C-alpha cells in the first residue's frame, strides 16, 4: 500500500456509512487517503454490499480477521495494522465508532506515535458490562482529535479531562449518508420483495444482554411473540445469537419472520416503512430519529440519549415491550419532531475541514 496522509480503518457495517462522507469530503480536498477493512464483519451482506451501495472505494487492504473472541479479534487486527502502519506511516489514522477494530487501530497508532482521530467520540452508556463502552473510553483517551456527534458527548469528554482543543462538535456523518440516500429508499419495493403488509414491525437484536444468556433469550422470544400478536414482525437477524433465538422457539410464531442481513438501502427502506422498530442497536436509534419512525430500544441504557431528547427513541424492557408497541401503533407517526443539532448532512465536511489542517 502506498503512503497516504490519512489512513481510515473500518471493520464492521456500522463503520461504513460513517466513513463514506468523510472519505468523499477529503477526496474533494485532494487529500491522499488509504482505506483498510479489517474484515471484522466478513459476510458479504455485512460489508462488501455496503461498499458498493455507498460508493466507497475498494479497500486498499482487507485484513480478513473474521470472527472470534474480543481478545483474539482485537489481537488479529493489531498484528495486521502494526506492520501496515509501520511501513506506511500515515499522518493520521481515523477510526470509527466503538467496534473492536477501532480499539485495535487506535492502540497501534498511538504506540507508533501516529496521531489518532476518533469519529463518534464521547458517547457513553455508563455501563461497563458492554464491551463497546470499554472500547469507547480507551479510544477516546488515546485520540488526538475527537469528533463528537452531539453536545452530551462533548460534555462527557470534558468531564473525563480531555482537553477542549482536541474536541470538535461536528454532527453525525452517518446521518450525512442517510440524508444523501433518502431518494434511493424504496419502501414499496422492499415491502413487495418481502411480501409484507402495509403495517409491520422491524426488529434488530444482537447485544449480549439480549441473546447470550438462556433466560434472557427465553424472555426475549416471549416478548417478540407478544408483539407479533399485534403486527407482523420482520427480523433481519445478525449471525450473533441467531442459533440461541431459534433454539428458544423464535420462529414458532407465524407472524414473525427472520431474514438474512440486508444491504444498506434495503434495510433503511424497510425501516422507513415500518410502523415501529424494536432494536438493541446504536445506529438504528439514530436512523429512526431522522426518519421519524418510533423506536423502542431493548436496553437499560443508551449511549445516544439525544435520540430520546430530540428523536423518536424510547428505552423499554422486555416485559413492557408489548404495551409500548401497542401505544406506538395507536399513536401513529409523530406529527412533529426535533432534529439533533448539526445533524444536517454536513458532518463529513466539518471533519474534513479539521483533518485537512492537520495533514497539510
pLDDT in tens, 46-74: 567 888 899 988 889 989 877 778 888 89
Lookup: cell for 170: 461536528
In contact, 6 and 33? CB cutoff 8 Å: yes
pLDDT in tens, 69-94: 888 889 999 999 999 999 999 999 99
pLDDT in tens, 100-134: 999 999 999 999 999 999 999 999 999 999 999 99
User: From residue 122, how far is each of 95, 97, 137, 162, 303 by CA, in Å?
Assistant: 13, 10, 8, 10, 9
**6-172+343-359 and 186-331 share one fold:** yes
Indicate if 310 belongs to the active site. no
Provide the CB-side half-sphere exposure for 215 (13 A, CA).
Answer: 0
Highest mean pLDDT among 35-39, 234-238, 341-345: 341-345
The domain limits of the chain are 6-172+343-359, 186-331
- Residue in 206, 225, 253, 310 annotated catalytic: 206
Q: pLDDT band for position 357 (50/70/90)?
A: confident
Q: Across the chain, what does the average pLDDT equal?
A: 93
pLDDT score at 87: 94
pLDDT (mean) for 338-343 = 94
User: From residue 297, how far is each of 142, 203, 280, 301 by CA, in Å?
Assistant: 30, 10, 5, 9
User: From residue 128, how far is each of 136, 283, 324 by CA, in Å?
Assistant: 10, 19, 27
pLDDT in tens, 272-310: 999 999 999 999 999 999 999 999 999 999 999 999 999
Identify the H or E element spanning 203: strand 201-204
pLDDT score at 66: 74
Strand order in the sheet with 167-169: 61-62, 33-37, 6-10, 92-96, 116-121, 145-148, 167-169
Place of cell 485495535: 104
Top-level class of domain 186-331: alpha beta
Collect all residues with Cβ–Cβ distance below 8 Å to 256 and sequence separation of at least 6: 224, 225, 228, 232, 233, 235, 250
In contact, 41 and 65? CB cutoff 8 Å: no
**In the CATH scheme, what is the homologous superfamily, with its name and number, of domain 6-172+343-359?**
Glycogen Phosphorylase B; (3.40.50.2000)
Which carries the bigger pLDDT value, residue 2 or residue 26? 26
In contact, 148 and 119? CB cutoff 8 Å: no
Nearest residue to 197 (alpha-carbon basis) of 265, 269, 255, 267? 255
pLDDT in tens, 8-30: 999 888 899 999 999 999 999 99
Residue 346 has pLDDT above 70, yes or no: yes
Q: What is the pTM of this model?
A: 0.94
Amino acid at each position: 500500500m502506498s503512503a497516504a496522509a490519512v489512513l481510515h480503518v473500518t471493520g464492521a457495517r456500522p463503520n461504513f456509512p460513517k466513513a463514506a462522507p468523510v472519505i468523499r469530503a477529503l477526496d474533494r480536498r485532494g487529500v491522499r487517503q488509504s482505506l483498510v477493512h479489517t474484515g471484522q464483519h466478513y459476510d458479504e451482506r455485512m460489508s462488501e454490499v455496503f461498499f458498493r451501495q455507498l460508493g466507497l472505494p475498494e479497500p486498499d487492504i482487507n485484513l480478513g480477521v473474521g470472527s472470534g473472541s474480543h481478545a483474539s479479534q482485537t489481537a488479529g487486527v493489531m498484528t495486521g495494522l502494526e506492520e501496515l502502519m509501520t511501513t506506511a506511516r500515515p499522518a493520521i489514522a481515523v477510526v470509527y465508532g466503538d467496534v473492536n477494530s477501532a480499539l485495535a487501530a487506535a492502540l497501534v497508532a498511538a504506540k507508533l506515535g501516529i496521531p489518532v482521530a476518533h469519529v463518534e467520540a464521547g458517547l457513553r452508556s455508563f455501563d461497563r458490562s458492554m464491551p463497546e463502552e470499554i472500547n469507547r473510553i480507551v479510544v477516546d483517551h488515546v485520540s488526538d482529535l475527537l469528533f463528537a456527534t452531539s453536545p452530551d458527548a462533548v460534555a462527557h469528554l470534558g468531564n473525563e479531562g480531555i482537553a477542549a482543543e482536541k474536541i470538535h462538535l461536528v454532527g453525525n456523518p452517518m446521518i450525512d449518508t442517510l440524508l444523501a440516500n433518502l431518494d434511493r429508499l424504496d419502501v414499496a419495493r422492499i415491502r413487495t420483495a418481502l411480501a409484507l403488509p402495509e403495517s409491520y414491525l422491524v426488529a434488530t437484536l444482537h447485544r449480549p444482554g439480549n441473546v447470550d444468556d438462556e433466560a434472557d433469550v427465553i424472555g426475549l422470544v416471549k416478548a417478540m411473540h407478544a408483539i407479533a400478536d399485534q403486527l407482523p414482525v420482520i427480523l433481519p437477524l445478525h449471525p450473533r445469537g441467531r442459533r440461541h433465538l431459534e433454539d428458544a422457539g423464535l420462529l414458532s410464531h407465524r407472524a414473525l419472520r427472520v431474514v438474512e442481513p440486508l444491504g444498506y438501502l434495503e434495510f433503511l427502506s424497510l425501516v422507513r416503512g415500518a410502523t415501529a422498530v424494536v432494536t438493541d442497536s446504536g445506529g438504528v436509534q439514530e436512523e429512526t430519529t431522522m426518519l421519524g419512525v418510533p423506536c423502542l430500544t431493548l436496553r437499560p441504557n443508551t449511549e445516544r440519549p439525544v435520540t430520546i431528547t430530540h428523536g423518536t427513541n424510547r428505552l423499554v424492557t422486555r416485559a413492557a415491550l408489548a404495551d409500548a408497541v401497542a401505544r406506538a401503533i395507536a399513536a401513529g407517526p409523530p406529527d412533529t419532531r426535533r432534529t439533533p443539532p448539526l445533524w444536517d448532512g454536513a458532518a463529513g465536511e466539518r471533519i474534513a475541514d479539521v483533518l485537512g489542517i492537520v495533514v497539510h
